[in-house]
Structure 1
Amino acid sequence: MKTAQEMKANSVMLIDGQPWMVQKAEFTKSGRNSAIVKMKLKNLLSGSTTETVFKADDKVEPVILEKVAVTYSYSMDTTYVFMDDNFNQYELNADDIESVLPYIVDGMTDICEAVFFEGKVISVDLPTTIVRQITYTEGSARGDTSGKVMKPAKLSNGTEVKVADFCEIDDWIEIDTRTGEYKCRAKAPA
């Protein structure tokens, strides 16, 4: 058991038999009252979020989730199939992987991590940065040199990302999967 004060962002704890990931934890100690920890939590099974307050010395049960390296294989309707090195297939609904769905494209070779809770796959984590190709974007706006000029661009799966003004159609770009932001131009994957 750990205290609420010891729980940091991205750690997982068990509340009423459900795994909750700490998205944000803020420790506060005022003069009169006892120390508290305000937490923003996400339920890993249902995807719902909530904010709650714990006393700093409240006991919580941490959970260590098992992770397995997988690659995207194929999709059928709203089911996405991932495969590990031993050719085991893991099926997930679109609702379970809603946050990574904009970056999943046919033929992708990125190594992902399947996250398991009690032997059941509950989500998939993408690498921090991925490389994707721009399929459509407008031309550059001439003369605007005021700073970091961004414009919309579409990827092959229809996802729209803001990219630097100098990016063109067929350019490969790096995207931060945590924020969905363009990072830089990149070389085509081998």
Structure 2
Amino acid sequence: MKTAHELRPGNVIMLDGTPWVVQKTETTRSGRNAAIVKMKLKNLLQDSTTETTFKGDDKMEDIILERLDCTYSYYADPMYVFMDSEYNQYDVESENLGDASAFIVDGMEEICQVTFYEGKAISVELPTSITREVTYTEPAARGDTSGKVMKPATIEGGATITVAEFVKTGDKIEIDTRTGEFKKRAS
């Protein structure tokens, strides 16, 4: 059993006897109240989607599915193709990737975990930390040193994230794939 707060995109849960893959999670915390987790879920049996809200400490049955370590191979609209160490290819629908598709680029070397349900590849879990090059960001503003100053930056693959003021175009940065947040400049 996992709590709603522990679930991440790619996890599969059982609700009312039906398996659902978590596509997106958003946690909201307020002062005195418990955390609320909004989730976008996809039904594995009927290919329908829904958005629902849970309390952060709600317990859910996490289904243990077969997982394989794979690398990204190529994109064949609307499928992302991944390959395992034995050169078997697995197609994953782009909508099943959720926010992870923003971090998938040609030639990526990171190992991903492809999840299977009844022999069908249903989701991909990226490593928690990946390194990408900044393709564009505005130069730092002189004199703006008050506190933690952030600015938008476009990374390989076209995704836009918020980075620290000192990051320049061409820098390699480390990104937390669970939250999509900038962690640090990579060496």
Q: Which residue in 1 is equivalent to 2:86?
A: 86
1:95 and 2:80 are equivalent in the alignment: no
Q: Residue deviations 1:89-140, cap 9 Å, x none?
A: 0111211112201001110001000011122111000000100000111110
CA–CA separation in structure 2 for the residues paired with 1:153 and 1:7? 34
Write the letter of the residue equivalent to 1:160: T
CA–CA separation in structure 1 for the residues paired with 2:157 and 2:100? 12
CA–CA separation in structure 2 for the residues paired with 1:165 and 1:47? 38
Note closer, same or farther for the CA distance 1:166–1:94 as it changes in structure 2 (3 Å cut): same
Q: Which residue in 2 is equivalent to 1:51?
A: 53
Q: Which residue in 1 is equivalent to 2:117?
A: 117
Write the mapping of 1:107-186 to structure 2, written as runs, cut at 5 A: 107-186=107-186
Once the two structures are TM-superposed, the CA of residue 19 in structure 1 deviates from its matched residue by 1.5
Q: Which residue in 2 is equivalent to 1:63?
A: 63
**Could you tell which deviates more after superposition, 155-164 or 101-110?**
155-164
CA–CA separation in structure 1 for the residues paired with 2:137 and 2:52? 38
Q: Which runs of 5+ in 2 are unaligned?
A: 27-35
CA–CA separation in structure 1 for the residues paired with 2:43 and 2:183? 28
TM-score by length of 1: 0.76
Once the two structures are TM-superposed, the CA of residue 17 in structure 1 deviates from its matched residue by 4.5
Write the mapping of 1:33-44 to structure 2, written as runs, cut at 5 A: 42-43=41-42
CA–CA separation in structure 2 for the residues paired with 1:169 and 1:62? 41
Percent identity between matched residues is: 48
What CA RMSD, in Å, does the superposition of the two structures yield over aligned residues?
Answer: 2.8
Note closer, same or farther for the CA distance 1:52–1:108 as it changes in structure 2 (3 Å cut): closer
Note closer, same or farther for the CA distance 1:132–1:143 as it changes in structure 2 (3 Å cut): same
Q: Which has the larger radius of gyration?
A: 1
Q: Which has the higher contact order (CA 8 A, sep 6+)?
A: 2
Note closer, same or farther for the CA distance 1:51–1:151 as it changes in structure 2 (3 Å cut): closer
TM-score by length of 2: 0.77
CA–CA separation in structure 2 for the residues paired with 1:39 and 1:153? 27
Once the two structures are TM-superposed, the CA of residue 13 in structure 1 deviates from its matched residue by 3.8
Once the two structures are TM-superposed, the CA of residue 40 in structure 1 deviates from its matched residue by 5.9
Note closer, same or farther for the CA distance 1:61–1:132 as it changes in structure 2 (3 Å cut): closer
The answer to whether the Cα contact below 8 Å between 2:14 and 2:63 also exists between their aligned partners in 1 is: yes
Q: Residue deviations 1:31-69, cap 9 Å, x none?
A: xxxxxxx9866346345332369xx9x9x8652111110
The answer to whether the Cα contact below 8 Å between 1:134 and 1:171 also exists between their aligned partners in 2 is: yes
Count of aligned pairs between the two proteins: 166
